[in-house]
Structure 1
Amino acid sequence: MTVFCTKYQKDLPALPKAPFPGPKGQKILETVSQQAWADWQAHQTRLINEKHLVMTDPNARKYLMEQMDKFLSGDDYDQAEGYVPEEK
Structure 2
Amino acid sequence: MGRTVQCVKLKKEAEGLAVPPLPGPKGQWVYENVSEQAWTEWQIHQTRLINEKRLNLLEPEARQYLTEQMDKYFADEDVDAAEGYMPESK
Name the TM-score, length of structure 2 as normaliser. Answer: 0.92
Q: Residue 82 of structure 2 corresponds to which residue in structure 1?
A: 80
Are 1:10 and 2:12 counterparts? yes
**Unaligned stretches of 5+ in structure 1?**
none
Q: State the percentage of identical aligned residues.
A: 57
Write out per-residue CA displacement over residues 9-43 of structure 1, whole angstroms, 9 at most, x where no aligned residue. Answer: 11111001100121110000000000110000000
Which of 31, 49, 52 does residue 51 from structure 2 map onto?
Answer: 49
Secondary structure at 1:75 match in 2: coil
Within 2, Cα distance between the matches of 1:19 and 1:77? 20
Q: Residue 36 of structure 2 corresponds to which residue in structure 1?
A: 34
Letter of the structure 2 residue corresponding to residue 40 of structure 1: W
Within 2, Cα distance between the matches of 1:20 and 1:63? 16
Residue 87 of structure 1 deviates from its aligned partner by 3.6
Write out per-residue CA displacement over residues 39-75 of structure 1, whole angstroms, 9 at most, x where no aligned residue. Answer: 0000000000001111111111100000011111211
Task: Please report the RMSD computed on the Cα atoms of aligned residues, expressed in angstroms.
Answer: 1.0
Moved over 3 A (4+): none
Letter of the structure 2 residue corresponding to residue 7 of structure 1: K
